[in-house]
């Protein structure tokens, strides 16, 4: 199977979907402490973008970052262990949901600071993002900025927060920009492949605005505190364009069922591994905070 094979793309969106559904259940049961920002509904973007990348390409994600980590190829078992705060987690349980990193597969890290390389519509009014656009364009840095426009920054609708357009921000710095259907993994993959080919040939940075819809809460805290900012009809319409079904419809039913079963087995094993893993020893709480060789400064510069 090639990296951009339709079956493989389906496997990725399905893996993220089921990983997230299980993670939400683990939050509800109290096993995952502190909650998560579910990526449900946006799976086609991470899957499509990462299908067009090489293993040695680097990505950074957002606070809604599980999908980016999984799509780039991190081990779901170690990712789940990370969410559960276990020593076997990708970051020994120290990073958790919003700081999962796996340098082995080119994931520099999910990032709780709004405005990383994958980013939401809420980031497009952040000054540091525009500064990054400027320097990337000026120095022709091969970076693909992927805006996952799910229509809201927490509860703030895009229309009430974004003047002008998202591609317009890139174009102001001379960067090519495309708007794509983020619910279709193959559309995202093809747009990414085209941009990445230009960038590898020295073309400089580009931006993709992927239009999507967040199926679940901004954060799982919303499951307890119902916030009334999306009309039921809007949510139903958004959910009707499901990236898992869109990609699944391209596969023979038997292939889809086989992938579904394989994903379930992978996640069953992942959960078993994670739950059987020890929590970090409190005595080591200060380990792995600094790169080896560096010591914490105690003040005085």
Ligand X SMILES: Cc1ncc(C[n+]2csc(CCOP(=O)(O)OP(=O)(O)O)c2C)c(N)n1
Q: Which residues bind ligand X (CB under 6 A)?
A: 62-64, 112-114, 119-123, 150, 152-154, 218
Tell me the torsion sign for CA atoms 293, 97, 70, 107: negative
Closest approach of ligand X to the CB of residue 172, in Å: 19
Cβ-proximal residue to ligand X, closest one: 120
- Closest CB to ligand X among residues 31, 112: 112
Nearest distance from C-beta of residue 99 to ligand X, angstroms: 12
CB-nearer residue toward ligand X: 41 or 280: 41
- Cα torsion angle, 260, 262, 265, 266, sign: negative
* Cβ nearer to ligand X, comparing 21 with 264: 21
Tokens of 172: 């102001």
Using CA atoms, how far residue 192 sits from 79, 94, 177, in Å, is: 25, 32, 11
Which residues are bridge partners to 145 per DSSP?
A: 207
- Distance in Å, CB of 157 to ligand X, minimum: 10
Nearest to 204 by CA among 147, 128, 116, 136: 136
Distance (Å, rounded) from C-alpha 281 to C-alpha 292? 19
From the CB of 210, what's the least distance to ligand X, in Å?
A: 12
From the CB of 113, what's the least distance to ligand X, in Å? Answer: 5
Q: Which is nearer to ligand X, 62 or 277 (CB)?
A: 62
For the chain, what percentages of helix, strand and coil (3-state, to nearest 5) are there?
Answer: 45, 10, 45
Q: Which is nearer to ligand X, 74 or 217 (CB)?
A: 217
């Amino acid at each position: 199977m090639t990296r951009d094979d339709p079956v493989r793309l389906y496997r990725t969106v399905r893996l993220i979907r089921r990983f997230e559904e299980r993670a939400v259940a683990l939050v509800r049961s109290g096993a995952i402490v502190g909650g998560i920002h579910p990526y449900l509904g946006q799976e086609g973007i991470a899957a499509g973008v990462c299908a067009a990348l090489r293993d040695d390409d680097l990505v950074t994600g957002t606070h809604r970052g599980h999908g980016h980590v999984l799509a780039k190829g991190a081990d779901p078992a170690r990712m789940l262990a990370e969410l559960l705060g276990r020593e076997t987690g990708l970051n020994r349980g120290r990073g958790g949901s919003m700081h999962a990193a796996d340098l082995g597969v080119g994931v520099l890290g999910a990032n709780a600071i709004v405005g990383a390389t994958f980013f939401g519509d809420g980031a497009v009014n952040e000054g540091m993002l525009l500064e990054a656009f400027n320097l990337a364009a000026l120095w022709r840095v091969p970076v693909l900025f992927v805006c996952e426009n799910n229509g809201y920054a927490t509860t703030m609708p895009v229309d009430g927060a974004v003047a002008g357009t998202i591609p317009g921000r890139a174009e102001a710095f001379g960067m090519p920009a495309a708007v794509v259907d983020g619910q279709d993994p193959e559309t995202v993959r093809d747009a990414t492949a085209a941009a990445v080919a230009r960038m590898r040939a020295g073309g400089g940075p580009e931006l993709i605005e992927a239009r999507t819809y967040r199926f679940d809460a901004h954060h799982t805290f919303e499951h307890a505190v119902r916030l009334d900012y999306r009309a039921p009809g809007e949510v139903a319409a958004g959910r009707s364009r499901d990236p898992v079904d869109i990609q699944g419809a391209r596969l023979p039913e038997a292939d889809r069922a086989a992938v579904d079963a394989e994903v379930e087995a992978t996640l069953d094993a992942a959960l078993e591994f994670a739950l059987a893993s020890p929590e970090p020893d409190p005595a080591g709480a200060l380990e792995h905070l600094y790169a080896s060789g560096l010591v914490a400064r105690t003040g005085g510069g």
